[in-house]
Every structure is written in structure tokens, then in C-alpha cells.
């Protein structure tokens, strides 16, 4: 009994001790919070959002050139153009997106190419616009070709160049890395401009809606985003909405998560948090400020944890107390709310910017600009680049040929990522490109703040293919003027458009065996020869029909794959309209009979409305082919039907119109078993 009583009293005393300890801890935290200033969250507001808009110009031969402009400090700046081949047809389904030109993407000169062979030479240089034909960065009409070209480049590097020794392996890997990184950065800037133009979601602006339909804008953005991935071109057009929705949702989650993390850390450290832009539910960049008055009133021994923010302790930095760099004066009213200059403010404070962070990175905010130490980030990036160069270029350690190295490198990267290190190079590049666009436009920023940030961004440049941010706007305008001259030449954009149509007609008129011979001939001649079909009014009409058919099939395929019940997820009238368009086209071409029959059969199975099902049977009947009759016979055998639908299916299996009485005598409908 004594032991039991002692145990009870011990448990009570242990609980009482834990309670008292928790109370003391809470009281100490409250006391510490009372001595620290509350966090101030401010925003530049809508004025800081970059203003971008599209413009449409006609192209000789039945096409359009859609150009996206952004408002820079010194006027409109062209960002990119995409060729939209409409075949001079008003139906949006007949349009096709083609080549993409990004005007800030400069072709490297001889000096830049030589510097790219070494990771130790990374000085960015200004360049002049050339006089030749502008080269497109992407071709949205053939995404799979670009994927195989990239895979072939990797295989060539590993199997052909790497075994030649370090003198060949090291410079080729450095050059290919610089080229791919530069193209990826400019593509990300173009994607950010599209998002700023208001086509990333929600109601579209009138300018964007008038330039292209919403589904084409979505395809444009998704292809740009997927171009940075090795196998991004493998994704079919029907899967693009799903892929883009997933990527956009993930990015929004990153921003909201990092917003909370950075704001809370600013509160704990006594700093000021300001969002650089307010487009969307959460901004993409934020700035941390410190008050010069707080610096004077605080002790140098004030605690500061630099592991998360990755900047030096501002309370021990004597330079901030006599700061000569960029600063702002903020005004606060009695309620602690920020006011505009000239208002009846209770007090004024001198604010010093400490750092700019990207909120797009996974898990943690990414430091992009350190206003006190401009070379901090470049030193970190250079160290990582040189270590990778030594491991892969000099010693030849790659994950494809050395599995122990792959395991060790992956483990190290996982450990560093778990401790807050930014190990994903692609995400770092995306964040860097997003801030470049914000600073390039500079809307809502004072010119002094913009120049201070640009000076530190230029110090971060480790790619010899890049050019200083201050000279990029002038270069983009010069490139756009050069492209317009090319587009107006008789042998320019219009002739290139006809060649692309002739190449597209090859897939329409020839089978796989013939196309294989054409591809082999192109490879043997080093792409000097390509087989193209002549383009005339007859072939153009066939091309219009083929594009409309592909667009309709892709939309119906997306409906089938996205929901088990089409009538619930989509408007039934929209589904019937697509089936009616398909019914009108199947009677004019038998190329897609097998694909159409299987897809329409799936639409029938996933719809419950009698009107939609009747439209499916009508489409199968208008095919007037064995595939359509077999699909109707399978539906009769396996699906429950009303009397009206069964009569229509029986007529369809005979090859008759479901709306008319059967006219073909014979031994009854074709069954699926007999068809086999």
C-alpha cells in the first residue's frame, strides 16, 4: 500500500511539475514577445504587378502572330511571339500553335561560347542584335521531337564524349549545362509574363481572350512549363489541362506555405515583411526590412538565428547604423498601420532592405538578393557548380555510369534538403527568372530600389550566355524589330509557314513505313533534306478537317479520362455539341474510324443521359464502317438500354440512320461475337 500511495503522489507531483514548467515557459515567451516589436506585413499592392498584354498581327498565308508585351520602365518591351496557324479558317479547332520566339534569348557569340567551356568564366556581357534569321526557342507543334533531341544529346554525351577523357568530357558538359540553363531561364521568364498577362486562371482579360481561345492559352503555358523537363514532350495534348492544373496548384501551395514561414520568422526576429506583388492569393516574392530606429534601440547581443533566413545578423552589423545605401521612409499612424507620405502620421521610420526572397521554392523561402553581401549567393552557386564540374567533368562520376556515386550524391542531397538547403537547381532557376522579370518591368518600384536590386542580381550571374539585366530591354526591342523584318520578307515567315504545312501533310498522307524512310533520309543528309507535300487548296481542306478532328477527339478524350460520369462533370449540351461535330466529320474521312468508334463507345458507357447516348449512336451510324457497327453491337450486348435506344442501336448495327426505319434486309444486327 505504501508503494501504491508513493506512486500516486509521485504521479501527482510529476504532473504538477510539468504544469508549473509549462506555465513558466509560456510566461517567459509572453515577456519576450512584449519586448519585441510586432511584425508589420505590408504590400506594394496591385501597382507592383507587372503589366503584360498580348497583341495579334496577321501573317501572309492564313496565320497570326501573337506577341506578348510587358510594360518596362522605358516603354513596352516585347517578350515573345508564337505563330498561330489558322489555315485562314474561322473555326478555332483548325488553329495550331507553332514556333515560339523569345526576344530576350540571345544567340551567343564566339567569346561567350569559349567562356562556356569552363565553369570558372561566368561574366555576363552585353550583346548586339544580329542580322540573320531569328531562331525559335521552341516548336509547340512538335514537342516530342524536342524531347528525343534532348535525350539523344544526353546519350551522345555519356556514350560518345565522356569516354574520350577529361579534356573532352569537362568542357562539353560545361557548355551543354550553360546552354540548357540559359534557355530554361528565358523560357521561365516567358512563362511568368504569360501568367502576369492574366491567362493563368480565372476570368481572362479582354485582350487575352481576343488573341486566342482559353484552351490555346492553357496549351501554350503548359508546353512552356513542360519544356524544362526531360520527358515533358511525351505528354499528349489531351493531358495538358490536367498537367497544368497540377503544376499551378502545387506552385500556389508553395507560395502560401512560404508566405507563412517567412512572415513568422520575420516576427520572431523583429523584422518587417513586405510582399513585392499581390497577383493571386499569395505573392511570389517578398522583402525583409529592418528599421534603423530599432537598430539604434536594440542591443548588439539581441538573439538572431541566421540558419533559416541565411543572412547575417543585422543587430551586430555596424554598417546598418550608418547605412549609405538604398533606404525608404515609412510612415505609421497611431494604430500601427502604414500610411502614405504626407498623411497625418504619428511617426516616421527609416527602413533598410535586407533581402529579397522567392516564395515559389519548395519547402522554404529562397534567398535571391542580399543587399549587404551581394556575392553571398553567387559564391554558393559557384561552389556548387565547380564541385559538380570536378566530379562529373574531371573524374567522370555520373549517376548513369556509377551507381555508388548516384547513391551517395542522392543521400547527401536529401540530407541537405531536409535541413533547408536549396538543392533543386530547376526551382532555383525558376525563382531567379521570376525576379528578373519583376525587376525588368519595375512597376511599383522606385528607380533607386530597382537599380540596387539589379546591381546585386547581375553579381549573381554565373552563366556566360546571360547579359546584364540593365541592357536586356533594349536588346529585346532590337530583336523584335529584326524579327518583323524577317516576317515581312517574301522568303521569310510566310515561306516558313508553307514548309511547315507541307511537313504536316506528310503525316496525313503517308503511313508509318513511308514516314520512316523519310526520317532516315533526313538523318542521313544531316537534316539538309526533308520530304514535304505540296500545299494547295485541296490539301489545305484536308488539313483543316484533320486538325478539327484531332481537336474534337482530344476534348472528348479529356472528358472521358477526367470523370467516371461525364454528365456530372460537364454540361451535357457541350458533350452533345462535340459529338455532333464528330458526326459531321466522320462521314468525310475514314482515317480515324477505329479511334472514333472506341472513344464514342466509352462516352456512351460513361453517360447516363438518353440524349447523349442517342448522339453516340448517331455518330456510330454515320461512320458507315465495320468499326462503328461492331461498337454498336457491343453496346447492345453489354449495356442496358431503353426501347428507344435499343431500336437506335439495332439500326446502327445494320448501318442505318437511327432516326429512320431500317432499310437493309438481312439476318438481324451484327453481334460482337460474329464480328470477332
pLDDT digits (tens, 9 = 90+) for 441-480: 765 677 888 888 888 888 777 788 888 887 888 889 999 9
Position 28 scores a pLDDT of: 41
Position 672 scores a pLDDT of: 39
Range of the domain at 504: 493-534
- Average pLDDT of the residues in 659-668: 39
Q: What are the C-alpha distances in Å from 57 to residues 29, 83, 85, 196, 493?
A: 63, 10, 12, 21, 13
The whole-angstrom separation of Cα 658 and Cα 618 is: 6
> pLDDT tens-digit profile of 31-54?
433 334 444 555 554 444 457 888
Query: What single DSSP character describes residue 670?
Result: P
Contact 85, 62 (CB under 8 A): yes
**Triad 581, 585, 591: Cα angle to 5°:** 135
Least confident residue range of 203-212, 388-397, 423-432? 203-212
Same domain, 78 and 130: yes
**CA-based nearest residue to 309, from 272, 269, 277, 275:** 269
Whether the per-residue pLDDT at 398 is higher than 70: the answer is yes
Q: What are the C-alpha distances in Å from 51 to residues 32, 287, 364, 485?
A: 44, 21, 28, 26
Same domain, 44 and 182: yes
Position 44 scores a pLDDT of: 55
Same domain, 234 and 359: no
The whole-angstrom separation of Cα 492 and Cα 98 is: 15
**CA-based nearest residue to 283, from 434, 424, 445, 425:** 434
- Domain stops at, among 322, 347, 370: 370
Higher-pLDDT residue of 564 and 66 is 66
Whether the per-residue pLDDT at 76 is higher than 50: the answer is yes
Position 19 scores a pLDDT of: 42
Whether the per-residue pLDDT at 365 is higher than 90: the answer is yes
Q: What are the C-alpha distances in Å from 628 to residues 49, 583, 619, 637, 662?
A: 54, 12, 8, 15, 16
Whether the per-residue pLDDT at 324 is higher than 50: the answer is yes
Same domain, 385 and 422: yes
Position 81 scores a pLDDT of: 94
- Average pLDDT of the residues in 375-391: 84
Query: To which residue does cell 480515324 refer?
Result: 592
Contact 80, 53 (CB under 8 A): no
Contact 505, 535 (CB under 8 A): yes
The whole-angstrom separation of Cα 165 and Cα 396 is: 8
- Average pLDDT of the residues in 161-175: 90
Residue 35's CB is within 10 A of a number of other CB atoms, namely 9
Whether the per-residue pLDDT at 659 is higher than 80: the answer is no
Same domain, 512 and 660: no
Position 673 scores a pLDDT of: 37
pLDDT band at 270 (very low <50, low <70, confident <90, very high): very high
Query: What single DSSP character describes residue 157?
Result: I
Same domain, 529 and 543: no
Position 99 scores a pLDDT of: 94
Grid coordinates belonging to 246 = 497540377
Q: What are the C-alpha distances in Å from 416 to residues 260, 387, 554, 641?
A: 22, 15, 43, 61
Whether the per-residue pLDDT at 12 is higher than 70: the answer is no
CA 276 to chain centre: 21
What number of helices (H) and strands (E) belong to the chain? 25, 12
User: Residue 295: how many CA atoms within 13 Å on its side-chain side?
Assistant: 22
Total domains in the fold of the chain: 4
Same domain, 480 and 595: no
**CA-based nearest residue to 327, from 335, 319, 339:** 319
Same domain, 546 and 525: no
Whether the per-residue pLDDT at 263 is higher than 90: the answer is yes
Same domain, 40 and 183: yes
Whether the per-residue pLDDT at 287 is higher than 90: the answer is yes
Position 405 scores a pLDDT of: 86
Same domain, 635 and 571: yes
The whole-angstrom separation of Cα 300 and Cα 315 is: 5
Position 84 scores a pLDDT of: 94
pLDDT band at 284 (very low <50, low <70, confident <90, very high): confident
Position 483 scores a pLDDT of: 92
Phi-psi region of 536 (alpha: psi -120 to 50; beta: other; left: phi over 0): beta
- Domain stops at, among 314, 348, 370: 370
The whole-angstrom separation of Cα 427 and Cα 39 is: 28
Ranges of beta strands (E only) in 308-460 are: 328-332, 338-339, 347-358, 366-370
**CA-based nearest residue to 350, from 320, 327, 383:** 327
Same domain, 297 and 387: no
Same domain, 324 and 440: no
Whether the per-residue pLDDT at 481 is higher than 80: the answer is yes
% of the chain at pLDDT higher than 90: 18
Position 266 scores a pLDDT of: 93
- Domain stops at, among 534, 564, 598: 534
> pLDDT tens-digit profile of 583-592?
888 877 777 8
Amino acid at each position: 500500500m505504501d508503494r501504491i500511495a508513493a506512486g500516486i503522489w509521485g504521479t501527482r507531483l510529476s504532473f504538477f511539475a510539468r504544469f508549473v514548467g509549462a506555465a513558466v515557459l509560456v510566461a517567459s515567451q509572453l515577456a519576450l514577445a512584449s519586448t519585441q516589436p510586432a511584425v508589420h506585413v505590408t504590400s506594394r499592392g496591385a501597382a507592383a504587378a507587372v503589366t503584360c498584354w498580348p497583341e495579334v498581327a496577321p501573317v501572309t498565308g492564313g496565320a497570326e502572330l501573337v506577341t506578348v508585351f510587358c510594360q518596362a520602365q522605358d516603354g513596352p518591351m516585347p517578350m515573345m511571339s508564337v505563330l498561330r496557324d489558322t489555315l485562314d479558317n474561322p473555326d478555332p479547332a483548325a488553329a495550331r500553335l507553332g514556333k515560339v520566339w523569345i526576344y530576350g534569348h540571345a544567340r551567343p557569340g564566339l567569346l561567350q561560347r569559349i567562356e562556356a567551356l569552363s565553369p570558372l568564366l561566368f561574366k555576363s556581357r552585353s550583346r548586339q542584335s544580329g542580322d540573320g534569321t531569328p531562331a525559335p526557342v521552341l516548336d509547340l507543334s512538335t514537342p516530342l521531337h524536342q524531347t528525343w533531341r534532348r535525350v539523344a544529346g544526353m546519350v551522345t554525351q555519356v556514350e560518345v564524349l565522356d569516354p574520350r577523357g577529361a579534356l573532352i568530357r569537362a568542357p562539353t558538359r560545361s557548355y551543354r549545362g550553360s546552354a540548357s540553363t540559359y534557355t530554361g531561364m528565358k523560357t521561365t521568364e516567358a512563362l511568368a509574363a504569360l501568367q502576369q498577362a492574366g491567362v493563368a486562371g480565372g476570368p481572362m482579360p479582354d485582350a487575352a481572350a481576343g488573341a486566342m481561345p482559353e484552351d490555346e492559352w492553357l496549351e501554350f503555358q503548359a508546353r512552356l512549363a513542360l519544356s524544362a523537363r526531360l520527358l515533358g514532350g511525351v505528354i499528349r495534348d489531351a493531358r495538358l489541362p490536367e498537367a497544368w492544373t497540377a503544376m499551378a496548384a502545387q506552385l500556389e501551395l508553395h507560395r502560401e506555405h512560404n508566405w507563412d514561414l517567412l512572415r513568422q520568422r520575420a516576427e520572431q526576429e523583429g523584422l518587417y515583411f513586405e510582399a513585392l506583388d499581390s497577383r493571386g492569393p499569395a505573392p511570389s516574392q517578398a522583402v525583409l526590412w529592418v528599421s534603423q530606429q530599432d537598430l539604434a534601440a536594440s542591443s548588439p547581443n539581441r538573439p538572431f538565428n541566421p540558419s533559416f533566413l541565411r543572412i547575417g545578423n543585422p543587430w551586430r552589423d555596424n554598417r546598418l547604423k550608418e547605412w549609405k545605401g538604398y533606404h525608404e521612409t515609412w510612415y505609421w499612424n497611431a494604430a500601427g498601420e502604414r500610411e502614405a507620405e504626407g498623411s497625418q502620421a504619428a511617426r516616421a521610420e527609416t527602413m533598410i532592405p535586407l533581402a529579397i526572397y522567392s516564395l515559389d521554392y519548395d519547402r522554404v523561402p529562397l534567398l535571391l538578393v542580399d543587399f549587404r553581401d551581394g556575392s553571398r549567393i553567387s559564391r554558393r552557386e559557384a561552389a556548387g557548380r565547380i564541385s559538380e564540374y570536378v566530379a562529373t567533368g574531371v573524374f567522370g562520376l555520373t549517376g548513369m555510369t556509377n551507381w555508388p556515386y548516384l547513391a551517395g550524391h542522392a543521400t547527401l542531397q536529401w540530407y541537405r534538403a531536409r535541413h533547408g538547403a536549396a538543392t533543386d537547381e530547376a526551382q532555383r532557376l525558376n525563382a531567379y527568372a521570376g525576379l528578373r522579370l519583376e525587376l525588368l518591368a519595375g512597376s511599383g518600384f522606385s528607380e533607386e530600389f530597382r537599380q540596387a536590386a539589379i546591381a546585386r542580381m547581375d553579381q549573381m550571374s554565373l552563366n556566360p550566355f546571360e547579359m546584364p539585366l540593365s541592357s536586356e530591354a533594349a536588346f529585346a526591342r532590337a530583336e523584335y524589330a529584326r524579327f518583323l523584318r524577317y516576317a515581312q520578307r517574301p522568303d521569310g515567315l510566310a515561306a516558313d509557314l508553307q514548309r511547315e504545312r507541307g511537313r504536316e501533310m506528310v503525316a496525313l498522307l503517308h503511313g508509318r513505313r513511308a514516314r520512316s524512310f523519310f526520317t532516315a533520309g533526313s538523318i542521313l543528309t544531316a537534316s539538309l533534306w526533308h520530304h514535304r507535300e505540296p500545299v494547295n487548296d485541296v490539301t489545305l481542306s484536308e488539313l483543316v478537317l484533320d486538325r478539327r478532328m484531332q481537336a474534337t477527339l482530344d476534348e472528348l478524350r479529356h472528358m472521358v479520362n477526367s470523370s467516371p460520369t461525364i454528365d456530372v462533370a460537364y454540361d451535357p449540351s457541350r458533350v452533345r455539341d462535340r459529338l455532333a461535330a464528330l458526326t459531321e466529320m466522320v462521314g468525310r474521312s475514314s482515317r480515324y474510324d477505329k479511334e472514333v468508334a472506341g472513344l464514342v463507345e466509352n462516352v456512351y458507357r460513361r453517360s447516363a443521359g438518353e440524349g447523349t447516348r442517342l448522339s453516340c449512336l448517331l455518330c456510330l451510324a454515320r461512320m458507315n464502317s465495320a468499326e462503328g457497327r461492331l461498337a454498336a453491337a457491343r453496346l447492345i450486348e453489354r449495356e442496358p438500354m431503353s426501347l428507344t435506344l435499343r431500336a437506335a442501336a439495332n439500326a446502327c448495327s445494320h448501318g442505318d440512320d437511327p432516326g429512320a426505319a431500317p432499310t437493309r434486309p438481312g439476318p438481324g444486327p451484327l453481334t460482337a461475337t460474329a464480328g470477332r
